């Protein structure tokens, strides 16, 4: 099932924030985009690529302690192939490494740094990616509200950092339309959108199907399964029975097992997992590009059909 129909992607405060970002981005020197290291592609806001022009971008792969370390490195190498893009990985121990962001901002704007002029940096990130916690660590004090629920920050704020850097914080933003259905599932699985906004069973099924292929050994160990089944439905049946999640008549409570899988993915209890790879991104973007072409052709065909109908109507009137 396509989750896009079930998800409220663009509430009012996000639309307001998007307009504010568009207005002030031309004044910025550096863009800092905070990504979820488990889903660097799906948590990447396409608006940044559209609006940044040639401004340098620092991509922070946050929550790296929850992601597959080899895949995190692969993503960093992938991002840095693009001109003007630098990538850093951060885990829970941000305080020890956070100075790297300030140093990199100064390195990317050497003229301003050497002359003592203020460097303007905008920080962006989807909801619940850990942006506010990172800001508080950068500032050395609590200046941004934090929480486990998406979309805690609702308004823009300015934060003065060491090293002559002025940080422009923005609310966590999704975007008007997620064209790649896979990204919708991954955002839901990692907590980028509220649990009430999607069908939990569908998201858990998608997650289990991926993990069965990509991380079978982690599933075996965590859920005490000697030989994994081929389908997500059979996985939930076996794992739920192993956990004793039985309803009347000995029927496995699939919904409860679904909740456990997603929550243990989010907490890292299953292990360090990445839900997408650079190769997957390339393949999925190719599919999305084909879908765009098909939709545009369909739109043009409808417009041509309307034009011909109008011509026929005029001809009949004569």
- Binding residue numbers for GTP: 62-65, 128-133, 172
| DSSP string for 20-62 | HHHHHGGG-SEEEEEEETT-TTTTS-HHHHHH-TT--EEEEEE
Please calculate the CA angle 142-153-60 and round it to the nearest 5 degrees: 75
Residue 161 phi, psi (nearest 5): -110, 170
d(CA 253, CA 247): 6
Provide the token pair at 282.
């390339």
d(CA 36, CA 231): 27
Please calculate the CA angle 152-9-43 and round it to the nearest 5 degrees: 75
| DSSP string for 267-281 | HTSS----S--HHHH
Show binding-site residues. 62-65, 128-133, 172
- State CA 220 to chain mean position distance: 27
d(CA 240, CA 260): 9
């Amino acid at each position: 099932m396509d989750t896009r129909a079930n998800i409220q992607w663009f509430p009012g405060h996000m639309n307001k924030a998007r307009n504010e970002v568009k207005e002030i981005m031309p004044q910025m020197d550096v863009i800092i985009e905070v990504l979820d290291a488990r889903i660097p592609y799906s948590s990447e806001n396409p608006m940044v690529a559209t609006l940044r022009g040639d401004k340098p971008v620092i991509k922070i792969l946050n929550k790296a302690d929850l992601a597959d370390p080899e895949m995190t490195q692969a993503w960093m190498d992938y991002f840095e192939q693009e001109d003007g893009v630098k990538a850093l990985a951060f885990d829970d121990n941000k305080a020890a490494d956070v100075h790297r962001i300030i140093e990199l901002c100064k390195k990317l704007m050497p003229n301003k740094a050497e002359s003592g002029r203020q460097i303007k940096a905008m920080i962006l990130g989807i909801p619940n990616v850990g942006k506010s916690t990172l800001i508080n660590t950068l500032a050395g004090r609590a200046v941004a509200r934090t929480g486990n629920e998406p979309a805690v920050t609702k308004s823009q704020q300015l934060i003065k950092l060491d090293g002559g850097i002025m940080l422009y914080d923005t609310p966590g933003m999704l975007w008007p339309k997620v064209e790649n259905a896979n990204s919708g599932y991954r955002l839901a699985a990692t907590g980028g959108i509220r649990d009430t906004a999607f069908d939990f069973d569908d998201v858990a099924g998608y997650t289990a199907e991926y993990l069965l292929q990509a991380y079978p050994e982690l599933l075996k160990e965590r859920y005490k399964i000697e030989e994994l089944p081929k389908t997500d439905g059979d996985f939930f049946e076996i794992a739920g029975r192993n956990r004793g999640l039985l309803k009347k008549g000995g029927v496995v409570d699939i919904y409860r097992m679904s909740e456990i899988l997603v929550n243990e993915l989010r907490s890292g209890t299953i292990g360090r997992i990445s839900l997408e790879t650079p190769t997957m991104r390339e393949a999925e973007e190719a599919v999305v590009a084909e879908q765009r072409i098909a939709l545009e052709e369909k739109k043009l065909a409808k417009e041509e059909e309307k034009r011909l109908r109008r011509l026929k109507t005029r001809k009949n009137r004569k």
